[in-house]
Structures are given as C-alpha cells and as structure tokens.
Structure 1
Amino acid sequence: MEWLTAMKKSIAFMDSHLCDDISADDVAAEIFMSPFYFQRGFKILTEMTPSEYIRNRRLYLAALDVLGGKEKVIDIALKYRYETPESFTRAFTRFHGVSPVQLKNSPESLHVFLPLKITISITGGNRMEKLDFAVSPMSGFKVIGFERIFDMKTSYDEIPKFWDEIREKYLGAVWSGKKHLSEIERAVKENGIGEYGVCVDDIGGGKFRYMVAGKYCGGKVQAGMTLFEFPDLEWAKFKCVGPMPKALQSVNTKIFKEWLPGNPDYEMSAGYNIEWYDIPRGSMTDEDYKNAIWIPVKRK
C-alpha cells in the first residue's frame, strides 16, 4: 500500500475504533504493514506514537461526553477503555488540566484534539539536500550477534545503552587490537560484529528484536549469540555521513517524510531494518563518519 494512503487509512481506522480494544499491531495489520515500520513512520510524521494518538483522541471525546451530561463518569471511563474511574480521572486531569467534574464548571479548559490530517509538504530550492541511495537485490544472508528485545516506546533510549554494554564487554577489546582473545571475542572479530544494527519485527505487542551483529562467516555460534537469516530481498540503501546519532536520525526522517510518501516506484516489503556502521574505522562523532540505513523494498 502506498505510504501516505496507508497512514491516512491508519488514522481513519483508529478513529473508528476508539471505543474498542485496539493496539498498534491491530492498526498495522489493517494497513498490511510491519508494526515496526508503521510505528516508526507514524512517530516521525506526527511526533507522537499511535498509542498516544489513540489516548488523546479518547480523552477529547470523553470530555465532550462529560460536557454533554448524559452519561456517568464511570460509564464514560469504561466506554473509552479505562479499567477504573480513578485511572480515567488521572489521565483526564493530566490531559485537560481539570478533572471531569471540574470541566463541567469550566468548559473553556477543554483541550481540543481533532483527527490528524496527513498531507504532502512540497519543498524545493537549490540548497535542498537529497537522499543518496541505491536499490539493489541481495541473495539471502546470515548475520550473527548479540540480541535483545526492545519496546517500541523506549527503544530510542535503550538501544544506545545496549550498544554501550556490548562495546564495553566485547567490541572494545577487539577493536583495540587485543592479542589474546576469548572464544566469544574471536567470534566477534571473525564475523565483524558491530558492523550492523539489525531490527527484526516478528514478535508483535509493540516489541521487536534488535541485534548488534555482523555478517556470519561460519563457525560455532557461541553461547549468548544469535544467528538470523535474511531471505532474498531487494534493499534500498541510504547513505549517511556525519556524527552519530544525528546523521542517521536525519536520514531516517527524510526516508519517511520525503522518500516514501508518493514514491512511484517502491514500497516497503518486510519487517526488517539494518543500520550499517563503518566500524571500527573512524570515530562516530567525526563530521565525515560513514554509515547507512537499509530497508527492504519491492517495486510497485
């Protein structure tokens, strides 16, 4: 499904099911998209998560029901999927600044939150920076590395900590040229672990697998390591140059805001994402540091 069409359909689906028990996974399934890419793209385009959008829309509609005066607070709470009147009142007060009871006496406190409208923003000019990318097919390949499961809501903060942990335990010793390596450190060196950051969206529930990985060159899979095999895919590879993580985040934003919307040739094809790092060559804070984002695509 074309990217902007998918986003518009996701918003319409959420707004028509605000009184139902729905999750980001349900919305992604409705638009035939990987939950990982749906949540990431929605966040970049709207600056909020799907769950935040659903919550805000519910609380706005709940306030209208409160002002209508035809329903009890407990019924309104249950209607918009809150388990208790207390939890509803707390969320309501955080959003509107007043409790449901207080809103009746000060309706001007109503925090309006209308349905989102997504449109294409046309930009131009001689100084516009273009994405540098290439699309090419790749035969299936295996990666090996250290894996952890992350929640979409906290992954941006937690994944860098995971990298720091793996770097301190294994990568630093290998990159510094340590002579006597342990078996696991030898596996890190032989497979170039640290070259890839791999996202695999096959869990659901707002969670995904992330690997600090390298291309598998054979040999024993050491305890604590994970092996993953990609199928034959066509990959769009976007080049990034600049200090991390700013450069990578900038390109990622351009992919979802400029490249995917209205793209006449390609759409995403699978729930994978690869970050490529030129490690250990150069410092990640260098202005000319090279890295890349790979996403699987298919021709329309």
Structure 2
Amino acid sequence: MNWVHRMNEVISYIEDHLTDEISHERISKIAGCSIYNFQRMFSYIADKPLSEYIRNRRLTLAAFDILNSTERIIDISLKYGYESQDAFSRAFRNYHGVLPSTVRNETVQLKSCPKLSFQMTIKGENHMNYKIEQFPAFKVAGIANQINTSEAFEIIPQIWENAWKNGTMDRFFKLFEKVDYRPAGVLGISEGGQWGNSEEMNYIVAVTNHVDLPTCNHVSPPEGMEEFSYPGSTWVIFEANGELPDAVQKVYKQFYTEWLPNSGYQLANLPVIESYMPENHQEVWIAIVKN
C-alpha cells in the first residue's frame, strides 16, 4: 500500500466515523506511523491541524442536517459528539458565524469544509539537501516530557522555553565538553509510542552521549537525566539551515508533500529527531524503510 493510498484510507476512515468515535489507534494502523507523526504530516499537507479538519467536517455535515431535516438541534449536537447544545452552538457559531437556530429561521451564508483527497504531484520548486545514511545504534542523555499527542504542538514550544529558564540548557552545554557525537547539538526527539498506543507521547530534550562505534566512549547521563537508546536504522537527514521555526517547518512541508511520496520509502516506527546546532544550523532526522 503506497503512501498516498494510506493517506486517503485515513480520510475515508474519518469520513465513515464523523458521527461516532474516531480512534487515534486506528488512524495509526492505517497510516503506518504514530499518531503524532501523522498529525504533523497532515498539518503540513492540508495547512490545518487534523483536529480542526475533523471538527470542520462535522460542523459542515451538521449544517446540512439542520437545513434538510426536522431533527432537534440537541439531537444533532449529540450526533456529532457534543455533550450539550450550548457547546455545539458555540462551535457552530465560531465556524459558520451564525447560531444553529438561525439557520432554521433565516436565509444565511454557511461555510463548507469538503472531504479531502490526496494525490501525488511533482513540484520541484525548491531543492532539498539530504542524505540517506545507515546509522548505528546510539544513546542520548536527556529529559523526557510525557504529553498528550493532541496538545503536542502547543506544549513543545513551552518545553523549550522552560529548558532555557530552568538551567537545563546550561547543563547540556557542560555535557558538550565531554561529547561531540551525532546526531549533533541539542536534540528535540518526538517519540510517538508504538503504533496503536498513541494517545500519549514523549518529547525528549537531549544530547547524544554514545554511538555504537569502537572509537566512541560512553558518557554517563548527568544527575537528573535519563538515558534513551535507539537501534541502528536507515535515516534520511535533511539540512534545515536558517531562522527558526520557518527553516524546520519548510523541511517538514517539503518532506511530506514532495520527498516522501516520490521516494520509494515509508516512515519507520522510530522517533523524529530535530538537531539544533549553533549559527542557525539544524538537521531533521527521519527514520525510513523501503516500501
């Protein structure tokens, strides 16, 4: 099953479950990656978060139900997953600009969010600097933060802000006096958990403290830090040089919309690693396997 087909299979699954529970576990299994990776992928391709797309699709169908049926608004609210009519009315007004009751009594303008469909296109507007490398097993020393995947995009910037404020970054800089290993710099590691167990994830701020090579010395994690191990794997490593966060976001968008669909690879069930180095030099490490 190719990458584009997987994306469309997820959209079909969502469409079939807009009036009941949408399982992150099921999305992970269809997409072949963690829910966090899929949410990231979706946001760059569709230019909106997955949660927003699902909400907008439900409110689009709810508007059709109000217009074309005699169902009570409270029943339509419950049908699309809202616990109360008040909550539904607020969401409906935020999206459509009018209250549900107004739709039944007046001629009003409404919004429509169509069902998405993904197709492979070859653009080639901007080149990407990358290499594919079979990298040995390695270890990192760092601090893990367990977060809900649905809140990841809001919480991760706060994690970095706190790391600068609470002295964590100073401790990493001292660790650099003992290590100079790849992946280099201070790492942001998104561990989405095993596929199908994805309601929570770890976001780890870390430094590489060992690579499984004869010439590499193992450096123990400083007090208060944990050690995390990753197996040898094939990684595609992209340069993401430039001002943050735009430089890294540009890489993700091109990776998901251009590189991955045309590459003959798919995502491996391993973390995504962002490597932050001095002078606006960054790398993005993404584990891949042949289709």
Distance 1:82 1:157 in 2: 23
| Contact in 2 for aligned 1:24/1:39 (Cα 8 Å) | no
Give SS of 2:261's match.
coil
**Residue of structure 1 equivalent to 2:290:** 299
SS at match of 2:285: strand
Residues 237-246 or 74-83, more deviating? 237-246
User: Deviation at 1:149?
Assistant: 2.6
2:178 and 2:219 in contact (8 A); partners too:
no
| Number of the residue aligned with 1:131 | 128
| CA deviation after TM superposition for structure 1 residue 109, in Å | 2.2
Cα gap change, 1:84 to 1:164, in 2 (>3 Å): closer
In 2, the alpha carbon distance for the partners of 1:21 and 1:154 equals 18
Structure 2 unaligned runs (5+)? Answer: 211-217
Distance 1:271 1:77, change over 3 A: farther
1:210 to 180, 186, 203: 203
Query: Shift of the alpha carbon at 1:151?
Result: 4.1
Alignment-derived partner of residue 196 in structure 1: 187
Q: Say if 2:240 and 2:282, in contact at 8 Å, map to a contact too.
A: yes
- The structural deviation recorded for 1:49 is 1.8
Q: Which runs of 4+ in 1 moved over 6 A?
A: none
Gaps of 5+ in 1: 176-184, 285-289
Distance in 2 of aligned mates of 1:196 and 1:293: 10
- Pair 253,83 (structure 1): closer, same or farther in 2 beyond 3 Å: same
Aligned ranges 1:119-158 → 2 under 5 Å: 119-124=119-124, 128-158=125-155
Aligned partner letter, 1:266: Y
Whole-angstrom distance in 1 between the partners of 2:35 and 2:172: 35
Please give the root-mean-square deviation of Cα atoms over the aligned residues, in Å.
2.4
1:194: how far off? Answer: 4.7
Paired AA for residue 283 in structure 1 = E
- Percent of paired sites with the same residue: 30
* Contact 1:135-1:236 within 8 A present in 2 as well: yes
Q: CA deviation at 1:188?
A: 6.0
Which residue among 280, 283, 297 is the counterpart of 2:279? 283
- AA aligned to 2:260 is L
Provide, for residues 101-151 of structure 1, a one-character-per-residue CA deviation record: whole Å limited to 9, x for no partner.
110123432222221122234325xxx421111112122211111221344
Partner of 1:20 in structure 2? 20
Distance 1:97 1:245 in 2: 32
1:65-104 alignment to 2 at 5 Å?
65-104=65-104
1:215 match: secondary structure? strand
Distance 1:122 1:216 in 2: 39
Residue 269 of structure 1: aligned partner = 268
TM (norm. structure 2) is: 0.86
Distance of 1:199 and 1:11 partners within structure 2: 24
SS in 2 for 1:27: helix
What is the letter of the counterpart of residue 208 of structure 1?
Answer: M
**1:272 CA drift (Å):** 0.9
Shift of residue 33 of structure 1? 2.0
Question: SS of the residue aligned with 2:240?
Answer: strand
Q: Deviations over 1:186-214 (max 9, x none)?
A: x5643469532211111755542112211
Secondary structure, aligned partner of 2:78: helix
Counterpart secondary structure, 2:113: coil
